[in-house]
Amino acid sequence: MPICSTNFAIVNGTVILPDTLIEDGMVVWSKNLITQVSKRKRVPRGSMIIDAQGGLIAPGFIDIHVHGGAGSDFMDATVADVLTVCRSHLNHGTTTVFPTTTTGTHQNLLQMIESCRLAKSEITRNPELGAAIAGIHLYGPFFAADKAGCHDRSECRTPETDDFASYFATKMIRVATCAAELPGAIDFYRLARRRRCLVTCGHSNSSWNEMQTAFNAGMRHVDHFWCAMSSVPSLRQRFGTPMQASMTEFVLMNADMSTEVIADGCHLAPELLEFAFRMKGPSRLCLVTDCNRALDMPPGDYIFGNRTTGTMFRSDGQVGWAGTGSLASAVMGMDHMVRHMKQTTSADLPAIFRMASLTPAERTGIHGIAGSLTPGKQADILILDQGLNIREVFAKGLSVVHH
The residues binding Zn ion (CB under 5 A) are 290
Is residue 148 within 8 Å of 203, Cβ to Cβ? yes
C-beta of 235 vs 288, nearer to Zn ion: 288
Q: Dmax over Cα atoms in the chain, in whole Å?
A: 75
Nearer to Zn ion, 68 or 93 (CB): 68
Residue 103 or 345: which CB sits closer to Zn ion? 103
Alpha-carbon distance of 139 to 159, in angstroms, equals 12
Q: Among residues 7 and 100, whose Cβ is nearest to Zn ion?
A: 100
Minimum Å gap between C-beta 149 and Zn ion is: 5
Q: Which is nearer to Zn ion, 75 or 351 (CB)?
A: 75
Between 155 and 290, whose beta carbon lies closer to Zn ion? 290
Whole-number minimum distance, CB 288 to Zn ion, in Å?
A: 8
Give the whole-angstrom CA distance, residue 269 versus residue 29: 39
Nearer to Zn ion, 290 or 362 (CB): 290
Q: How far is the CB of 174 from Zn ion (least distance, A)?
A: 16
Evaluate the CA torsion angle 179, 287, 266, 130 in order and state its sign: negative
Rounded to whole angstroms, what are the CA distances from 250 to 116, 212, 238? 33, 8, 17
| Phi then psi dihedrals of residue 194, to 5 deg | -60, -35
Whichever of 63 and 290 has its CB closer to Zn ion, that residue is 290
Sequence letter at residue 341: M
Beta strands in 40-142 (DSSP E): 48-59, 61-66, 68-69, 72-73, 94-99, 132-133, 136-138
b/e for 34-50, b at 16 or more Cβ within 10 A? bbbbeeeeebeeebeeb
**Shortest distance, position 275 Cβ to Zn ion, whole Å:** 20
Phi first, then psi: give them for residue 56, nearest 5 degrees.
Answer: -115, 145
Choose between 152 and 380: whose C-beta lies nearer to Zn ion.
152
Min separation Cβ 334 and Zn ion, Å = 14
CB of 14 to Zn ion, least distance (A): 33
Compute the least distance from the CB of residue 42 to Zn ion, in Å. 47
Task: Kindly give, in sequence order, each residue whose CB lies less than 8 Å from that of residue 354, ignoring residues fewer than 6 positions away.
Answer: 18, 19, 282, 283, 372
Minimum distance from residue 155 beta carbon to Zn ion (Å): 14
Dist CA 368 CA 331 (whole Å): 30
CB of 126 to Zn ion, least distance (A): 28
Q: Are strands 33-39 and 21-30 parallel, antiparallel or unpaired?
A: antiparallel
> Which helix (DSSP H) or strand (DSSP E) does residue 260 occupy?
strand 258-262
Task: State which residue has the least CB distance to Zn ion.
Answer: 290
Q: Residue 212 burial (CB < 10 Å; 0-12/13-18/19+)?
A: middle
